Every structure is written in structure tokens, then in C-alpha cells.
Amino acid sequence: MDRMLVVVFDNETKAYEGKRTLLQLDGEGSISVYAWAVLAKHADGTATVKQGDDSAPLGTLAGTALGSLIGLLGGPVGLAIGAVSGMAVGGAADLNNARIGDDFIDDVTKVLLPNKVAVVAEIEEDWTTPVDTRMEAVGGTVFRRALSEVKDTLHAEHVAAMKADLAQLKAEQAKAQADRKAKLQEKINRLDSKIQAELQKAKERGEASARQAQAKAEVLKAKAAAAKAKVS
């Protein structure tokens, strides 16, 4: 199952140990790590990406579910530029892009306090024990959430509701007096513009999801090839 993982540590040293542990689990085949970053929370509420897996097929964090999660964890002031990686993420981040619930963000931010450091990753795991036991052993507090398609369902329902309103307005306009028709047409135009904008966003999200799915497939293919090469 694809999941978003956040492991909070007391300092950078522990966080980097946690990052190495995560990659070891990936190398052992216990999990698959698609993308990761080390995120440091500062006293003023901002956060810095100290290190990130920018060389993976998923590419830069910006625009990915992981990038959106990092932006949401960056605090109200925004996310500072990473001192090591040079990556800045945030701004346009939202729960739709992150594909997780706001309760998950709340749970993490209650523990990811100023001066704490987190390993944030998008992973695939069949069971939670390998990550939990290894991360707890190095002092990490683990949070995870399955990547949800619920947001897409809610979006579709929202568009359907707007289309129903649009149909009602058009039916009303057909029976309205001339002076009322113009006002109804303005409402129809505004609502239609909103629908088209929502459909365009959905299309862009779908295209981004397809690109990320392909990138994940490439990650798994590369790992399989590496494992086969070791056997031969």
C-alpha cells in the first residue's frame, strides 16, 4: 500500500540516522521508498528541507504529493530554501495535492515542534512493523497515512453539484421574463466558468498522478534489475 510517512526526531543527527535506516529497509526489500526528504522545523515556525532525494525518477519534490505534504508542514510563514538541497517547496501546497486528511497534518504538527527534525517519505509497505521497530529504535516517532483517493471523489461530487445548479439556472432562464434573463445569464456564465476551472484542475491532477505512477513503476523496475544483477 502506498503511504505517506513522517518520522519525527529530536535533532538532525537522529533524523539522518533515521533516513539511513529507511533506505536500508528499502535495500532489504522490506519497503519501497519512492521519494524522501529531511525537514527541519525552526523556532520561528518555518521549515527547511535539509536534504532530499532529488535524483530519483520522481524528480523534484515540487508538484508531488510529498512536496505538498512538506509545504503543509512548513508552517504559516512558508517553507525556507533548503540549506543543503536548495529546494523550496510550499505556497501552492494543499490537502488535495497531498491526498491526506487535515487530521494527519494536525497529529504531525503537534509533535513536529520547533527545533525538531523529521524524515518525510512516500513509501510502499505491506506491513508496518519493519519501519516502526527500526525507527523507534533510533528515537523516532512514526506517523503514516495511506494515500487517499477520497479527495478525487469529493471533487467529482462538487462538480456534479455545480452542474445540477447550472441545469436549474438554465431551466429557470428559459421561463424567465426578459429583464430577468440577463441576470440569470450572468449567474450561468460565472458558474460555468467555475465548472470549467474545476475540470481543468482535475485534468491536471490526473496527468500529474499518471506521471508519478509511471515514475514509481520505473523505481520498482530499476530495483528489480539491480536485484537480478546481484543474483547473476
CB atoms within 10 A of CB 4: 23
Are 50 and 85 in contact by the 8 Å Cβ rule? The answer is yes
Q: Is the pTM of this model over 0.75?
A: no
Q: How many residues does this entry show for the chain?
A: 232
Q: Determine the pLDDT at residue 224.
A: 77
- Can you list the residues of the chain whose pLDDT is less than 50? 55-59, 76-93, 150
Q: What are the residue ranges spanned by the domains of the chain?
A: 2-148, 151-231
Cβ neighbourhood burial of 30 (10 Å; 0-12, 13-18, 19+): middle
Q: Determine the pLDDT at residue 80.
A: 40
Rounded Cα distance between 20 and 129, Å, is: 17
Rounded Cα distance between 24 and 13, Å, is: 17
Are 22 and 125 in contact by the 8 Å Cβ rule? The answer is no
pLDDT, tens digit, 9 for 90 and up, residues 20-39: 999 999 989 899 888 888 99
Q: Determine the pLDDT at residue 187.
A: 86
pLDDT, tens digit, 9 for 90 and up, residues 64-94: 678 778 888 875 433 443 333 434 444 444 5
The b-or-e profile of 59-77 (16+ CB within 10 A means b, else e) is: eebbbbbbbbbbbbbbbee
Q: What is the CA radius of gyration of the chain?
A: 22
Rounded Cα distance between 215 and 33, Å, is: 12
Q: Cα dihedral sign for 218, 222, 227, 232?
A: positive
Are 116 and 83 in contact by the 8 Å Cβ rule? The answer is no
